[in-house]
Amino acid sequence: MEKEINALREKLRKADRVAVLTGAGISAESGVPTFRGSGGLWRNYQATDLATPQAFAKDPELVWEFYNWRRDLISKVTYNPAHRALVDLESLVPNFTLITQNVDGLHLLAGSQNLLEIHGNLWKVRCTRCREITLDRSPDLGTSPKCKTCGGLLRPHVIWFGESLDQDILHRSIEASTNSRVMLVIGTSSVVQPAASLALEAKSRGAVVAEINLERTPNSSSMDFSLIGKAGEIVPRLVEGWK
């Protein structure tokens, strides 16, 4: 793997445009449970049954109890060396875009600037009345949090099952991927669309694509580099010696 890491580092050094896509794997190394993990149940509810607009419309207090539980879990963890290495990489590349499927906010906490959170952010809330979005890192917002601007009911600013992605963020993610010279895909199973197709789109436009994951994925055979291992160990090595 040493030879591959060195070769990929050289590709990154020469690239003026780099895109990165991260998934649950990078945060799992910080101790963030995967969404369908932690037994898959919360108080005998399937997590996937609560993360829907229908569930919120029916019982917003129950949904907020679930999200306060998630916020409390994530408030106890922090970013890891892979998150920090991506901040370093951003400072070294002229045109850098980080796209994440994660909602835990760890990239933002680590210091990433040009960040596209395609599934939203657990620490942001959106008013159901005036649509204002605010950042609030309180572990517990109560079961009926209200907008400070208009008094409307707040909801988590995340994409729920059955909801469409923000089209502006999606467009910018596609644009960053297809315009990249090198694209890294880190800690993602490459099965959730449309994120899973971003690297293949980048490759079709001539980019070097690299995957860093604990195991092979459906896209592995299409990658120029497939590095199997922990992101927290591999990603920092890609920026070693640049500074």
By annotation, the residues acting in catalysis are 119
Residue 226 placed within a domain: yes
Residue-wise pLDDT for 18-29, tens only, equals 999 999 999 999
Same domain, 49 and 149: yes
Residue 205 placed within a domain: yes
Residue-wise pLDDT for 105-117, tens only, equals 999 999 999 999 9
Q: Supply the DSSP string of 89-124, one letter for each residue.
A: HHHHSSEEEEEE---S-HHHHHT--SEEETTEEEEE
Give the per-residue pLDDT at 189.
78
Q: How many domains does the chain have?
A: 2
Same domain, 39 and 113: no
The CATH number for 154's domain is 3.30.1600.10
Same domain, 26 and 47: no
Same domain, 98 and 169: yes
Same domain, 174 and 192: yes
Q: If we measure between CA atoms, which residue out of 176, 157, 153, 179 comes closest to residue 166?
A: 157
Question: pTM above the 0.85 mark?
Answer: yes
Only one residue has tokens 């640049």, namely 242
DSSP type of residue 224: S
Q: State the pLDDT confidence band at 34, using cuts at 50, 70 and 90.
A: low
For residues 59 and 130, the answer to whether their CB atoms sit within 8 Å is: no
Residue 99 placed within a domain: yes
Where in the sequence is the domain holding 65, given as residue range(s)? 35-76+120-158
Angle between helices 231-238 and 2-14 (to 10 degrees): 50
Same domain, 86 and 189: yes
Residue-wise pLDDT for 148-165, tens only, equals 999 999 999 999 999 999
Residue 243 placed within a domain: no
Same domain, 229 and 125: no
Same domain, 128 and 214: no
For residues 121 and 133, the answer to whether their CB atoms sit within 8 Å is: no
Same domain, 110 and 85: yes
